A and B are shown apart, each in its own frame.
Chain A
Amino acid sequence: MLGLARQKKLTAGPSRLVPVGLAGAAVFLLVGSLVSDIFAQQTVAGLAQGAIFGSLALALVLIYRATEVINFAQGEMAMATTYVCYQLLHWGVSYWLAFFLTLAFGFVFGLVTYGVFIRPVQHRSVIAIVIVTLGLFILIDGVVAWIWGADIKFMESPFGNKVYRSGGVAVSAQDIGVFAVSIISMVALWALFQFTKVGLAMRAAALRPAAASLVGVRVNRMLAIGWGLAAMLGAVAGLMAEPTQFVLQPTLMQPILLLAFAAAVLGGLESPIGAVIGGLLIGVFLNLVGQYVGFATSELRLPIAFAVLLLVLLVRPTGLFGRKQVRRV
């Protein structure tokens, strides 16, 4: 019963320790990068991977905020859209045209998924919703393997394999590209939410559905658009994950989904900025731990992410940026 008593205490916003801690982490990374070339390289690679985790985590958070659904199929949706891009490239479409066509497909995919599969169960128990998204997980997996086969596919990398050197630090063009595309997509989405009328309506629909519908916002339509945008962001994550893994297969996003969950929980599950920062932190953390802790070999990446998730949930369930909520027990 200790937990209950603690849950009831309300605090407004994230504590002041969080910005201080994040600034400390940034300084640590900067100093480390200046001192050691390997450290710098691992940090940059970690940021690139973290940006992918962050994009997928942000997609999860957007959906969770809007519809209180944790979409376990988010990674598989991203994987499926990546296959669409693969198909377009296969037909001879140029990469960046295929990229934007894929994003459009992702948007429609998210819209339809919400309308067909999620709407009917949205107001049911958490268990029902979770099971439906897990059903989607298996369904999408099956459909993709059905159409394209489960064998490994190759896609050309949009960023080439150039490596930039400055001093002893080698940074691949791919890492820079992945990082830039992910961050630009997230900023664009943020701008859409912040500065457009549709964005305003979507925020209203997510935060106060009843009040929003009273002032003329079509809540269901807005939630569907939210799902579409999240799937679009997921598509970016999938497309950026593919070159970092070198191959395309139906299991592409499964490990990344777990890392994105860890990132979202670390950020507070309801905080978009938290998801992004959580993703970057986890990306860098995993790379540095992999480099400097001999015990933490690549097999342990997922168990470490699990440990992070568990630790955050136990020590600080609201994550870095989440707000405490009164729970109905």
Chain B
Amino acid sequence: MSKGFLVRVGITGVAVLVIVLLGVTMSSYHLGLGARVGIYFTAILGLNILLGYTGQISIGHGAFMAIGGYTTAILSHYHHWNLFATLPAALLICFVFGVIVGLPALRFHGVYLALATFALAVSVPQLPLKWSKWTGGSNGIRTATTPSNSWVYWTSWACAGIAFVTAWLLLRGRIGRAFRAIRDSEVAAVSSGVSLPIYKTFAFGVSAAYAGVAGSLYVLVTNGYSQPGLFGLVLSLQLLIGAAVAGLGSLWGTAVGALFIGLLPEISAGTPIIGNDHGQDVVFGLIVILVMILVPNGFAGLLRGLDSRVKSAIKSDPTTS
């Protein structure tokens, strides 16, 4: 066991403790807020697998969340499924959708993939409006039962925990290496025997599955209403921004990204001057641009830079003195 590993296990332990303590002590309103952070955590984690590890951009993750959310709402509304049981269903359906989207995405690179996924994000929320007979149109569709905020909190963070461990297991071994190889150079990856179609579509599928579960929970945290407006373009942008703030290719930064997009609206609403509905967008936009310009690797990059600077300072100290 390396020291770095132990430190990480320690940090994770503290994080789990904090989450449990908050879950026990917080009011219902704050539990809802906390649940949102957990949901964003799962979704950003999924996006990061795609974007940070395989280098495929997606502006369309809100679309996968929409599919997950509508899966839950429809299964509960029409078929009276247990809400727990809808989560794996959303996961599976979104995995399949992710693979389907990932197949054409194999041929798109860079800006073209950005364009295609942007179009996905804009057009998927239009579909429930077309088939409003089953989806309730712009009013949305409601789950048969509405869970309490504390139910959603614990479920969200349990899912986030499972998602985190799964991502970590997935990315530390052979698959993670293949993903990173594809990100750094597709030619080199292919020449080392990494199959691009398999790994790239798999990454899309896993990423979409994460977003799908997050989408289900997202519906549950908004009183069980699944509405097109919930999954608009802004949601997709928020996820991407969360991933950028977290730092691409870092699992540990994800928490910061999730906290950022989950709590910023709340914080900015309570701040003078920017404390109206639209001030938060201004802050969002400014911060993400500043982050991309000043700290291109996000929070994780900032930490890494700090870490190496401290280490080099410690190392160089005895030699210089």
Q: Using a CB–CB distance below 8 Å, which chain A residues touch chain B?
A: 1, 3, 64, 70, 72, 117, 120-121, 124, 126-128, 130-132, 134-143, 145-146, 150, 254-255, 258, 261-262, 265, 297, 299-303, 305-306, 309-310, 313-314, 317, 327, 329
A-B contact count (CB 8 A): 149
The reply to whether B111 and A70 form a contact with Cβ atoms under 8 Å apart is: yes
Interface string of B282-301 (1 = CB under 8 A from A): 11111011001100100000
The reply to whether A150 and B118 form a contact with Cβ atoms under 8 Å apart is: no
**Does B280 touch A at the CB level, under 8 Å?**
yes
Given A70-B115, A313-B116: A146 touches B107 (CB 8 Å cut-off):
no
Given A138-B234, A142-B281, A258-B122, 4 more A-B residue pairs with CB atoms under 8 Å apart are A70-B114, A142-B280, A254-B233, A329-B186
Of the candidates B51, B114, B127, the one having the most CB atoms from chain A within 10 angstroms of its own CB is B114
The reply to whether B122 and A306 form a contact with Cβ atoms under 8 Å apart is: yes
User: Which residues of chain B in 119-168 are interfacial with respect to chain A, using CB atoms and an 8 Å cutoff?
Assistant: 119-120, 122-124, 126-127, 129-130
Interface range on chain B: under 10, 10 to 19, 20 to 34, or 35 or more? 35 or more
**Does B276 touch A at the CB level, under 8 Å?**
yes
**Does B104 touch A at the CB level, under 8 Å?**
yes
The reply to whether A302 and B123 form a contact with Cβ atoms under 8 Å apart is: yes
The reply to whether B293 and A138 form a contact with Cβ atoms under 8 Å apart is: no
Given A132-B289, A132-B292, A138-B234: A254 touches B186 (CB 8 Å cut-off):
no
**Does B311 touch A at the CB level, under 8 Å?**
no
The reply to whether A128 and B296 form a contact with Cβ atoms under 8 Å apart is: yes
User: Which residues of chain B in 188-244 are interfacial with respect to chain A, using CB atoms and an 8 Å cutoff?
Assistant: 190, 196, 233-234, 237, 240-241, 244
- Residues of A within 8 Å of B280, CB to CB, are 142
26 A/B residue pairs, CB under 8 Å, sorted by A: A3-B107, A117-B289, A117-B293, A121-B293, A130-B57, A130-B111, A131-B244, A132-B293, A134-B237, A134-B240, A134-B241, A134-B288, A135-B288, A138-B284, A138-B288, A142-B282, A145-B277, A146-B279, A150-B278, A254-B122, A255-B122, A300-B130, A301-B126, A303-B123, A306-B122, A309-B115
A261 to chain B, nearest CB (A): 5
The reply to whether B114 and A126 form a contact with Cβ atoms under 8 Å apart is: yes
- Residues of A within 8 Å of B241, CB to CB, are 131, 134-135, 138
- Residues of A within 8 Å of B109, CB to CB, are 327
- Residues of B within 8 Å of A140, CB to CB, are 285
The reply to whether A131 and B292 form a contact with Cβ atoms under 8 Å apart is: yes
- Considering only CB atoms, which chain A residue lies closest to B111 in the complex? A70
- Considering only CB atoms, which chain A residue lies closest to B107 in the complex? A3
The reply to whether B296 and A124 form a contact with Cβ atoms under 8 Å apart is: yes
**Does B173 touch A at the CB level, under 8 Å?**
no
Interface string of B37-81 (1 = CB under 8 A from A): 000000000000001000101010000000000000000000000
**Does B110 touch A at the CB level, under 8 Å?**
yes
**Does B106 touch A at the CB level, under 8 Å?**
yes
A29 to chain B, nearest CB (A): 26
- Considering only CB atoms, which chain A residue lies closest to B109 in the complex? A327
Q: Which of A138, A139, A313 contacts B107 (CB 8 A)?
A: A313
**Does B9 touch A at the CB level, under 8 Å?**
no
CA of A134 to CA of B280 in the docked complex: distance in angstroms? 15
The reply to whether A261 and B57 form a contact with Cβ atoms under 8 Å apart is: no
The reply to whether A121 and B285 form a contact with Cβ atoms under 8 Å apart is: no
CA of A258 to CA of B109 in the docked complex: distance in angstroms? 18
- Residues of B within 8 Å of A303, CB to CB, are 123-124, 126-127, 130
Q: Which of B187, B196, B285 contacts A136 (CB 8 A)?
A: B285
